[in-house]
Amino acid sequence: MITFQQLNLNQDILNAITDLGFQTPTEVQQKVIPKLLTGNRDIVCLAQTGTGKTAAFGLPLLNDISTESRKVQALILSPTRELCRQITADLKNYGKYINDLGITAVYGGAAIDSQIKALRKGCEVIVATPGRMNDLLDRKVVDLACVRTLILDEADEMLNMGFKEELDLILERVPQERRTLLFSATMPMEIEAIARNYMSNPEIITVGPRNSGSNNVKHYFYMVQAKDRYLALKRIADYNPDIYAMIFCRTRQETQEVADWLIRDGYNADSLHGELSQAQRDLVMKRFKEKKLTLLVATDVAARGIDVNDLTHVINYNLPDEAEQYTHRSGRTGRADKNGISIAIINSREQHKIRQIEKVLGKSFAAAKIPTGEEVCSMQMLHLLKQVEETEVKDEIGEYLNIISTKWDGINKDELIMKMLSIEFNRFLDYYKHAPDLNIREEPGRRSTGSSKDNKYPATEKDHCNIKLSLGYRANITPRHILRLFSASGVSGKNVGSIDIQNEFSLISVPSNMAEYICENLNGTEYRGRILKVQKEGATAERFSNGNGNRNSNRNSNREDYQSPWPRGDKRISRDGFKRKSSGKPSSGKKRKR
């Protein structure tokens, strides 16, 4: 078996990775490191999240860095501040024995002045998010003239987050005579376009099949009515007493709601999403890594860069909009040669999504049944008995045996055991005494579609209507602002048709089955100091279009996922998530079409 000593890394780096406990390189490191050390060819590396990609590009990068000039020699771009900070921390660990090595992280959500100050001191490596990097370039704070290596980490996620324009601007500003390394878990068409336009005859290195997930992860789906989604989540958590999991939701609002429900119901849970301050995010992650939290409810964006190796489960409270995104989610478990479980909670009309994901991953999902109340109680009892068996008995306990014997003199052994177990176990018995079966039952010869009353937003892809939004040209609104506003309320831009911006209002074409949800969630909220008015206009026959108004109509637009098991009027979540700073100036003209 190959070792790091055989990879021709310098001794300073070998000493550092020995301190970190690295012994043998992972598959992606074995394939990539020799290529980077011995050649100058551009590389596209497709590897699942958690396979050791940071060391794969970081070790050879630091191996060839010169610390004499204090010029920026390498630029690493990542999609989120969490991942940016994680890469920076890893690189500093790898290069801790390299004298005068400067590595600076720059990302949004933090004070730009302190980052500018750090850059002016000089550094050899910059790790950045695309938005902040462009901001610094516009301010002429950063000189990229000496950059020899450009690395795009999690490139597919950067594109998913809408950073294509920012990436194009950065790629045009770095020297043409450079080496470009692109790392991605999946290979969508946009990644292939970057490889064609900005890379020179790149070599493609694939670890495992394209877009595949880890072989250490087992995939299951549970099918329930949409209204029972949260109850199913709780039952899955209760059936796995040692669970240590990430739960993925589509939107920030839903993420916070699910976390609030779990906390209220006594679980060690918290949320991670874009509305939290950096200090809050750091505190949540610290508690999660220390296992003071066992359930972390997160959005896809916020989860990027989280480095936790021993998650037992990943739970998809809702499936992602894109099948490839499931690869990123499931890659959070099954790391470091450990086994993991990825679970999807779906309703009957989402089975086609499971099939799409199976094609992308090249792996099959097993249909599983939500445990019954009796099964949960049995599992909890076994867990409690195991805890009792494994409990350390301290010698000092013996001093109190006389008190215990006197107090419990009239209680026999069986009664005493039952009383002790009941202290912890009664709540499960009470809760699950009359627990219903949450699994959807299918009639012979007929595929279950669920009750119509449970489907608050039934899918009817061909029917569309206009939403009238009380923001227009005079509010400096562009289609991009509207898409971001809708995204914050849980509606993907892929489900938005034409956008017609007038002076005082805008008309946005959306699937009719989403209209009620959008109006409920946006009407009365605040955006740029304005209270929004959102109402549904008459139905139209417009279909989705591509680029100029018409988008592909075969996308799933089912919104029943957002129905909660709790009263609709229970408003726990602040709406200030819609407050945003102005970005960009409106172009000339009184009316815009998208």
Q: What is the mean pLDDT of the chain?
A: 79
- Domains with residue ranges and CATH for the chain: 4-206 (3.40.50.300), 217-370 (3.40.50.300), 460-593 (3.30.70.330)
- Assess whether pLDDT exceeds 60 at residue 544: no
- Mean pLDDT within 72-89: 90
* Residue 441 pLDDT: 62
Q: Is pLDDT above 50 for 105? A: yes
DSSP secondary structure string, 408-474? TTT--HHHHHHHHHHHHHHHHHHHTTTPPP-BPPPPTTS-----GGG-SS---TT-EEEEEES--GG
Q: Which residues pair with 272 in a beta bridge?
A: 298
Rank 90-99, 164-173, 412-421 by mean pLDDT and report only the highest: 90-99
Which tens digit of pLDDT belongs to each residue from 315-331? 999 998 777 788 878 88
Does the pLDDT of residue 425 top 60, yes or no?
Answer: yes
pLDDT at 114: 92
pLDDT band at 305 (very low <50, low <70, confident <90, very high): low
For the ranges 24-33, 156-165, 187-196, 536-545, the maximum mean pLDDT occurs at 24-33
Q: What are phi and psi of 203, to 5 degrees?
A: -90, 130
Residue 489 is predicted with a pLDDT of 62
Looking at residue 91, what is its pLDDT?
95
- Polymer length of the chain: 594
Place of tokens 């992308």: 360
Amino acid at 528: R
Over range 364-379, report the average pLDDT: 89
In this prediction, residue 488 has a pLDDT band, given cuts at 50, 70 and 90, of low
Is the distance from CB of 223 to CB of 347 less than 8 angstroms? yes
In this prediction, residues 250-262 reach a mean pLDDT of 91
Which phi and psi (to 5°) does residue 261 adopt? -65, -45
Helical (H) or strand (E) element with 237: helix 229-239
**535-557 mean pLDDT:** 41
Q: pLDDT of 123-159, one tens digit each?
A: 999 999 999 999 999 999 999 999 999 999 988 778 7
What distance, in Å, lies between the first and last C-alpha atoms of the chain? 57
Mean pLDDT of 496-501: 81
The Cα diameter of the chain in Å comes to: 90
SS (H, E, C) 333-375: CCCCCCCEEEEEEECHHHHHHHHHHHHHHCCCCEEECCCCHHH
Q: Tell me the mean pLDDT in the region 460-474.
A: 74
- The CA–CA distances, whole Å, from 580 to 133, 479, 488, 575 equal 20, 15, 11, 12
pLDDT of residue 337: 66
- Report residue 312's pLDDT band, with 50, 70 and 90 as the boundaries: very high
Place of tokens 């029972």: 228
Average pLDDT over residues 6-30: 90
Task: Return the structure tokens found at 444.
Answer: 């012979």
- Structure confidence at residue 542 (pLDDT): 34
Q: What is the pLDDT of residue 213?
A: 55
Residue scoring higher pLDDT (435 or 105):
105
Residue 462 pLDDT exceeds 80: no
Structure tokens of 148? Answer: 């020899």
Structure tokens at 122: 């000089």
pLDDT value at position 455?
34
Lowest mean pLDDT among 100-109, 126-135, 187-196, 386-395: 187-196
CA distance 541 to 52: 50
Give residue 433's pLDDT band: very low, low, confident or very high (50, 70, 90).
confident
pLDDT reading at 580 higher than 70: no
Whole-number pLDDT of residue 102: 94
Q: Which residues are CB-contacts of 427 (< 8 A; sequence separation ≥ 6)?
A: none
Q: Average pLDDT for residues 286-308, to the nearest whole number?
A: 84
Distance CA 296, CA 308 (A): 12
Q: Check: CB of residue 281 under 8 Å from CB of residue 85.
A: no
Q: What confidence category does residue 582 fall into, taking pLDDT thresholds of 50, 70 and 90? A: very low
State the average pLDDT over residues 496-506. 83
Could you read off the pLDDT of 265-278 as tens digits, one per residue? Answer: 889 999 998 788 87
From the list 57, 61, 109, 59, the residue with the least C-alpha distance to 81 is 109
- Exposed, middle or buried by CB within 10 Å (0-12, 13-18, 19+), for 68? exposed
Instruction: Please state, in angstroms and rounded to a whole number, the distance separating the CA atoms of residues 189 and 199.
Output: 15
Residue 590 has pLDDT above 60, yes or no: no
Q: Which residues contact 211 (CB under 8 A, 6 or more apart)?
A: 46, 185, 186, 187, 324, 327, 360, 361, 362
Greatest mean pLDDT range, 222-231, 321-330, 479-488, 521-530: 222-231
Evaluate if residue 188 carries a pLDDT over 80.
no
Is the Cβ–Cβ distance between 307 and 88 less than 8 Å? no
pLDDT, residue 587, reads 38
Residue pair 363/213 in contact (Cβ under 8 Å)? The answer is yes
Predicted confidence band at 181 (pLDDT cuts at 50, 70, 90)?
very high
CA distance 568 to 22: 51
pTM of the predicted protein model: 0.56
What pLDDT sits at residue 494? Answer: 65
Choice between 552 and 79, residue whose per-residue pLDDT is larger? 79
Q: Which range, of 70-74, 408-412, 542-546, averages the lowest pLDDT? A: 542-546
Write the pLDDT tens digit of every residue in 332-349: 887 766 789 999 999 888
- Is residue 346 within 8 Å of residue 223, measured between CB atoms? yes
